[in-house]
């Protein structure tokens, strides 16, 4: 804060010379002051810089008739006095000396606002003592004190989180009547990690706000309630301050944001093919997503689907996949699937989910026993061949029976009774 005071200080009294004309020589001393910080908080230490300037121009000595007039301003001392709420650490300057035409002089006083200072405007008294023909100057300089603090607001912070990586934002509001600088926001929660661990906001103008954004990792957090806190540090002038702590109780649910649905399992002997959808149930996009069969005892990933690259899986979206594995142990009841991805800050994360091989688990399941497929295939083929042979044999037998019946009927027509003979001449049968 800079103030300018134009003070007409008569260094030399009005001189009267021969004749009726009156000549006035008035070297003028001006006073500027600046205060840092512009508005103090209780307990702050700051500076009041006072600049004195001799506004006279031209020569140091001015001749008027037979008189030689000195245009220098002589300053004997400068002092600053406080009150019951303001303490002046550097009270005075002595034997300052001459200030020639066009010259300036800067005096700095350190001021401390007491911890119990009340909000409002307080005054310090500046006294300039002049020498020779210069008058003394007394001036009151106002010091503003305001105890309003910076505030962190968790306006959009969710009350329930899964075991996930999510993006969280908080607002930092400068409620003070002056700017604050070097604002840093720091989060904390037990069993959780934040990225970055501290967020640099920078300067916040008076009456404005800025937003700090964090990546919030709860992948390894235990289920239950925990308290999440945010605190901001900042400078008011050269004084370090901390905002009040903003806190919120958050419930952690033991649930991964990446969930398998629509799983179908096909088996061919000890070879299994798993297919379905991977859903992003979280609130943050997952990048470079890849699902893989975990190579564990009794389970062997099979190419070409030992792993399956999905890519970016946006929040509230899904993607299909297909994986293959060979099970070499009868004790295996489920196949572990590794889900690998990167969070918005490109940090690597991996989680494992089990897909049950139990047909009662709700998945679609079909089986073709490869090991016994040869025997089964031969049995099936044999049954079909036998059935065909039976049909062919039955048809052949039926046709033979029909032919025998026809031959027997013909023989019975050739044999006539004893009392019937044929008249060969008339081709008639005569009884």
State pLDDT tens for residues 374-401.
444 455 556 776 777 766 776 766 676 6
Q: Give, in order, the Cα–Cα distances in Å from 107 to each of 27, 53, 71, 128, 142.
A: 20, 11, 21, 11, 17
At 58 the pLDDT is 65
Q: Is the pLDDT of residue 266 over 70?
A: yes
Cβ contact 299:328 at 8 Å: yes
Query: Measured between alpha carbons, how far is 16 from 14 in angstroms, rounded to an integer?
Result: 7
At 369 the pLDDT is 43
pLDDT confidence of 12, banded at 50, 70, 90? very low
Q: Is the pLDDT of residue 129 over 70?
A: yes
At 374 the pLDDT is 45
> Looking at residues 129-156, what average pLDDT do you find?
87
Cβ contact 257:201 at 8 Å: no
For 59-111, write each residue's pLDDT tens digit.
665 555 555 566 778 888 999 998 889 999 987 888 888 888 888 899 999 99
> Looking at residues 343-347, what average pLDDT do you find?
78
> Looking at residues 229-241, what average pLDDT do you find?
96
Q: Is the pLDDT of residue 334 over 80?
A: yes
Q: Is the pLDDT of residue 215 over 50?
A: yes
Can you read off the two tokens belonging to residue 153?
Answer: 């607001």
Q: What is the CATH number of domain 150-253?
A: 2.60.40.10
Q: Is the pLDDT of residue 216 over 90?
A: no
150-253 and 258-368 have identical folds: yes
> Looking at residues 134-141, what average pLDDT do you find?
84
Query: Measured between alpha carbons, how far is 153 from 389 in angstroms, rounded to an integer?
Result: 86
- CB neighbour burial string for 383-400, b if at least 16 within 10 angstroms, e if fewer: eeeeeeeeeeeeeeeeee
Percentage of residues in the chain with pLDDT exceeding 90?
40
At 65 the pLDDT is 56
Q: Is the pLDDT of residue 153 over 90?
A: yes
Question: 20-29, 68-77, 294-303: which range is least confident on average?
Answer: 20-29
For the chain, the average pLDDT equals 80
Q: Which fold has domain 2-145?
A: Immunoglobulin-like (2.60.40)
Q: Is the pLDDT of residue 207 over 50?
A: yes
Query: Measured between alpha carbons, how far is 329 from 141 in angstroms, rounded to an integer?
Result: 89
> Looking at residues 9-38, what average pLDDT do you find?
58
> Looking at residues 352-374, what average pLDDT do you find?
57
> Looking at residues 416-425, what average pLDDT do you find?
51
Nearest C-alpha neighbor of 32 from the set 132, 128, 144: 128
State the pairing for strand pair 104-113/45-54: antiparallel
Can you read off the two tokens belonging to residue 416?
Answer: 């006539």
Query: Measured between alpha carbons, how far is 125 from 121 in angstroms, rounded to an integer?
Result: 13
Q: Is the pLDDT of residue 9 over 60?
A: no
CB atoms within 10 A of CB 318: 19
Query: Measured between alpha carbons, how far is 408 from 359 in angstroms, rounded to an integer?
Result: 64
Question: 57-61, 255-259, 367-371, 393-397: which range is least confident on average?
Answer: 367-371
Q: Is the pLDDT of residue 412 over 90?
A: no
Comparing 431 with 22, the larger pLDDT belongs to 431
Q: What is the CATH number of domain 258-368?
A: 2.60.40.1230
Query: Measured between alpha carbons, how far is 259 from 296 in angstroms, rounded to an integer?
Result: 22
At 218 the pLDDT is 87
Comparing 33 with 257, the larger pLDDT belongs to 33
Query: Measured between alpha carbons, how far is 258 from 148 in angstroms, rounded to an integer?
Result: 45
At 24 the pLDDT is 44
For 39-52, write each residue's pLDDT tens digit.
999 999 999 999 98
Domain locations along the chain: 2-145, 150-253, 258-368, 374-431
At 286 the pLDDT is 87
Q: Is the pLDDT of residue 158 over 50?
A: yes
């Amino acid at each position: 804060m800079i103030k300018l005071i134009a003070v007409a200080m008569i260094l030399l009294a009005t001189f009267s010379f021969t004749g009726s004309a009156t000549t006035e020589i008035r070297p003028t001393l001006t006073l500027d002051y600046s205060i840092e910080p512009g508005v103090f908080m209780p307990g702050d230490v700051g500076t009041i810089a006072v600049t004195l300037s001799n506004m006279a121009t031209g020569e140091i000595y001015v001749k008027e008739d037979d008189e030689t007039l000195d245009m220098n301003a002589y300053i004997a001392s400068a002092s600053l006095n406080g009150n019951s709420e303001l303490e002046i650490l550097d009270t005075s300057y002595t034997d300052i000396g001459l200030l020639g035409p066009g010259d300036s002089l800067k005096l700095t006083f350190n001021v401390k606002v007491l911890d119990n200072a009340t909000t409002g405007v307080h005054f310090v008294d500046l006294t300039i003592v002049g020498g020779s023909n210069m008058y003394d100057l007394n001036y009151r300089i106002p010091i503003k004190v305001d105890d309003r603090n910076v505030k962190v607001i968790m306006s959009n912070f969710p009350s329930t989180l899964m075991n996930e990586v999510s993006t969280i934002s908080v607002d930092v509001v400068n409620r003070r009547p002056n700017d604050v600088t070097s604002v840093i926001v720091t989060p904390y929660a037990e069993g959780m990690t934040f990225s970055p661990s501290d967020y640099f906001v920078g300067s916040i103008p008076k009456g404005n706000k800025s937003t700090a954004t964090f990546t919030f990792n709860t992948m390894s957090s235990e289920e239950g309630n925990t308290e999440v806190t945010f605190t901001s540090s900042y400078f008011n002038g050269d004084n370090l301050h901390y905002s009040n702590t903003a806190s919120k109780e958050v419930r952690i649910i033991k649930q991964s944001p990446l969930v398998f649905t629509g799983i179908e399992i096909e088996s061919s002997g000890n070879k299994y093919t798993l297919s379905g959808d991977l859903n992003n149930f979280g609130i943050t996009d997952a990048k470079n997503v890849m699902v893989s069969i975990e190579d564990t005892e009794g389970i062997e990933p099979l190419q070409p689907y030992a792993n399956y690259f999905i890519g970016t899986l946006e929040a509230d979206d899904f993607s299909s996949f297909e994986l293959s594995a060979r099970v070499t142990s009868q004790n295996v009841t489920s196949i572990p699937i590794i889900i690998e991805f990167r969070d918005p800050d490109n940090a690597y994360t991996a989680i494992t989910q089990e897909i049950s091989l139990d047909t009662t688990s709700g998945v679609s399941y079909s089986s073709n026993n490869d090991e016994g497929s040869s025997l089964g295939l031969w049995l099936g083929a044999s049954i079909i061949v036998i059935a065909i042979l039976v049909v062919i044999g039955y048809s052949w037998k039926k046709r033979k029976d029909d032919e025998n019946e026809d031959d027997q009927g013909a023989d019975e027509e050739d044999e006539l009774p004893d009392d019937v003979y044929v008249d060969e001449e008339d081709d008639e049968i005569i009884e």
